[in-house]
Amino acid sequence: MMPARASAPGKVILLGEHAVVYGQPALAVPVTHVQATATVTPLPAGTADIWIEAQDLGRRYPLAAAHPQDPLAVAARLVLERCAPGAARPGFTLSVRSTIPIASGLGSGAAVCTAVVRALAAALGQAPDAAAVSDLVYETEKLLHGTPSGIDNTVIAYGQPVFFVRGQPPEPFRVAAPFQLLIADTGLASPTKVAVGDVRAAWQREPAPFQARFDAIGALVRAARAHLEAGQPEALGPLMTRNHTLLRELTVSCAELDALVDAAQAAGALGAKLSGGGRGGNMIALVTAATAARVETALRQAGATRVLATRVGTEDR
Ligand code: PMV
């Protein structure tokens, strides 16, 4: 076993959340300004214990004593089973830390587990590909979210913009011209699981109108991908705003998110929408160099507790 370290980015869903649960496509992009990092440090020979250190939470505990649903422990055990089944190995400390805000739709759980999978696999001399990492992390996502579509683990493990359809191989795609997003937090924690369950109950009560909204969202996603690949990111704006309206109709917005979306638009954003599970968490606004500062100020005045700026489509992304 060797010392190893690995990182993984956060993510935002550009368009398609909720409808993606019903087979429609969604687009998600990595947010590289925030990162989760995992470090594996082998312990001296003769020590077989495995320790987990969650630095941000100030917690250190033995793997053997971890809660059965602890995602870090589940990720570590899965990697040990897959990469070194039955092997005798020295003890080690698996230390994680993250700058990704938690419980706000930025994929912090999936990112931490992705970093753990990569670091531990590397320490065991292996380098699983993005698909294998994504599959392992999906197992941990299920602990937290019930039946997640898998979009978080996919975009984070691939580290590239992805066109994602549940149950199909993801399609990483190229953003031909970069664009700028502001990601603003309502400060409200909202469990994705609850919003997903409420949409399901509403869809079961009134299948036709809900199905029509899912289909309409799918059409927006396909159009958005075409614009991004053609180097027309500004065309995303109206599609985002329309997607927000449809998400409101799916009952997953809230007054705080609507206020941020309205404020962004009034301040000159090309488009804005909630991102992720909704009912709180984050929204995104498409901005340009000329409007970014003004929109950021407007978002803070409208109640955003944090605003992150990110650029999508730089380098090879
Ligand atoms: O809250 P997030 O960012 O993990 O996004 C959830 C996305 C949903 O489409 C609402 C659920 C899912 O599993 O895809």
Least confident segment among 135-149, 220-234, 236-250:
135-149
Active site (annotated) includes residue 215: no
Segment 50-76 shows an average pLDDT of 93
CA atoms within 13 A on the CB side of 177: 12
What local confidence, expressed as pLDDT, does residue 315 receive?
A: 57
Give the SS3 label for residue 272.
strand
The residue annotated as part of the active site, out of 56, 70, 152, 185, is 152
Q: Ligand 1 pocket check: which of 17, 156, 273 to mutate, most ligand atoms within 8 Å of Cβ?
A: 17
Locate tokens 């407007």: which residue? Answer: 298
Task: Using a pLDDT cut of 90, give the percent of the chain over it.
Answer: 86
Give the SS3 label for residue 217.
helix
Residue 316 has pLDDT above 50, yes or no: no
Instruction: Give the helix, strand, coil percentages of the chain, each rounded to 5.
Output: 45, 25, 30
Give the SS3 label for residue 273.
strand
Least confident segment among 72-76, 302-306, 311-315:
311-315
What local confidence, expressed as pLDDT, does residue 146 receive?
A: 72
* C-alpha distance from residue 102 to each of 85, 99, 162, 188 (Å): 32, 9, 22, 11
Non-local (6+) Cβ contacts of 85 within 8 A are: none
Q: Quote the mean pLDDT of the chain.
A: 94
What local confidence, expressed as pLDDT, does residue 191 receive?
A: 85
Quick: pLDDT tens for 169-180: 999 999 999 999
Q: Token pair for residue 75?
A: 């990720």
Give the SS3 label for residue 107.
coil
Ligand 1 atom with minimal separation from the 106 CA: 3
C-alpha 239/C-alpha 258 separation (Å) is 16
Residue 2, amino acid:
M
> In this structure, what DSSP letter does residue 202 have?
H
Q: Token pair for residue 287?
A: 């901005």
Angle at which helices 130-145 and 151-158 cross, to 10°: 150
- Taking the centre of ligand 1 as the mean of its atom positions, its distance from the CA of residue 17, in whole angstroms, is 6
What local confidence, expressed as pLDDT, does residue 190 receive?
A: 85
Residue 66 has pLDDT above 80, yes or no: yes
Quick: pLDDT tens for 228-270: 999 999 999 999 999 999 999 999 999 999 999 999 999 999 9
pLDDT, greater one: 269 or 101: 269
End-to-end CA distance of the chain: 32
Quick: pLDDT tens for 280-294: 999 999 999 999 999
Least confident segment among 22-26, 103-107, 217-221:
103-107
Angle at which helices 192-205 and 207-229 cross, to 10°: 120
- Taking the centre of ligand 1 as the mean of its atom positions, its distance from the CA of residue 160, in whole angstroms, is 18
* C-alpha distance from residue 142 to each of 25, 135, 151, 165 (Å): 20, 11, 12, 17
- Taking the centre of ligand 1 as the mean of its atom positions, its distance from the CA of residue 92, in whole angstroms, is 33
Among candidates 137, 101, 106, 107, which has minimal Cα distance to 121?
137
Residue 144 has pLDDT above 90, yes or no: no
Among candidates 6, 140, 24, which has minimal Cα distance to 76?
140
- Taking the centre of ligand 1 as the mean of its atom positions, its distance from the CA of residue 239, in whole angstroms, is 19
C-alpha 17/C-alpha 247 separation (Å) is 8
Among candidates 251, 223, 284, which has minimal Cα distance to 18?
251
| CB count in 10 Å sphere of residue 252 | 25
Segment 59-88 shows an average pLDDT of 91
The β-bridge relationship of strands 92-98 and 50-54 is parallel
Pocket lined around ligand 1, Cβ cut-off 6 Å: 13, 17-18, 20-21, 105, 145, 148-149, 151-152, 192, 196, 276-277
Ligand 1 atom with minimal separation from the 26 CA: 9
Ligand 1 atom with minimal separation from the 17 CA: 9
Residue 59, amino acid:
R
What local confidence, expressed as pLDDT, does residue 317 receive?
A: 41
What local confidence, expressed as pLDDT, does residue 88 receive?
A: 77
Total-model pTM: 0.93
| CB count in 10 Å sphere of residue 255 | 9
